Amino acid sequence: MTTTRSPAARDLAAFAALLADETRAAFCLALLDGRAWTAGELARHARVAPSTASEHLGRLVAGGLLAEERQGRHRYVRLADARAAHLVEDLAAYCAPDAGRPPRTLREAGARNAMARGRTCYDHLAGRLGTAITDAMTARGLLGQDTGFALTDGGLRWFRDLGVELVAKGRRPLARGCLDWTERRPHLAGVAGAALCRHALDTGWCVRVGTERAVKVTAAGERVLGELLGIGPEDLR
């Protein structure tokens, strides 16, 4: 007896195989910081040889998860688009990596705490910082969550008052809920989430911490977020 497998099943299996390797998964998680990395940087991050990294990166680019850019002799890679980033983050949330394992070192404990406090999820804010902003926007009527995430008229005015332009790109929604794997509830993603994250970093409300995705709120950021959204400093630390 012969069976005919559907092309969709074949394609899904092939795509899933891209992440069925710890090194390739480590690359994708690192690239959730929204920046482009060189092959050498990713090799050092995953502790593999440059030749091994190059082979894995070739598969991820060919499979459509990563995009490649070349500048002179340097080869940079990044997540292909927001959809690829959301897929990786959603899978990480589903797996809840290391959630129940105690940290092995003080350095690991510090890094984990920093990531839980505030981080970038590709191009938007996550962790306690991301959910605190999302909750405050919802409580103030700037964001609706009744039938999925949607900015209200007041929310659109709020962004305009900040001087932040919301420009829709392709099929990416203006506002989207993204499950936060440390807080286990959604934070704001989409065009609005990306614009707010970019504004927070550009204005110095937040700064990146170390080489991971962690960010922390500055003293100026605490003051502004308190004035704009009523978020207390205790919710940002």
pLDDT in tens, 99-152: 555 556 666 556 677 788 899 988 899 999 999 999 999 999 999 998 889 999
pLDDT at res. 17: 92
Residue 89 lies in a domain: no
pLDDT at res. 63: 93
In a shared domain, residues 73 and 120: no
Q: Are 85 and 93 in contact (CB under 8 A)?
A: no
**Run of H or E including 176:** strand 176-179
pLDDT at res. 121: 85
Domain edge (last residue) among 80, 115, 140: 80
Look at phi and psi of residue 230 and say left if phi exceeds 0, alpha if psi is from -120 to 50, else beta: left
CATH number where 27 lies? 1.10.10.10
The boundaries of the domain holding residue 18 are 7-80
pLDDT at res. 108: 56
In a shared domain, residues 42 and 153: no
pLDDT at res. 72: 79
Total-model pTM: 0.74
- Tracing tokens 């995953």 back to the chain, one arrives at 46
pLDDT at res. 52: 95
In a shared domain, residues 120 and 193: yes
pLDDT at res. 111: 64
Q: How many domains does the chain have?
A: 2
pLDDT at res. 46: 92
In a shared domain, residues 116 and 151: yes
pLDDT at res. 6: 82
In a shared domain, residues 138 and 200: yes
Domain edge (last residue) among 21, 45, 80: 80
Summarised one tens digit per residue, pLDDT across range 37-71 is: 999 999 999 999 999 999 999 999 999 999 998 88
Q: Is the pLDDT score of 203 beyond 70?
A: yes
Q: Is the pLDDT score of 170 beyond 90?
A: no
Domain edge (last residue) among 65, 80, 95: 80
Q: How far apart are CA 47 and CA 68, in angstroms?
A: 21
Instruction: Work out the mean pLDDT of the chain and round it to a whole number.
Output: 87
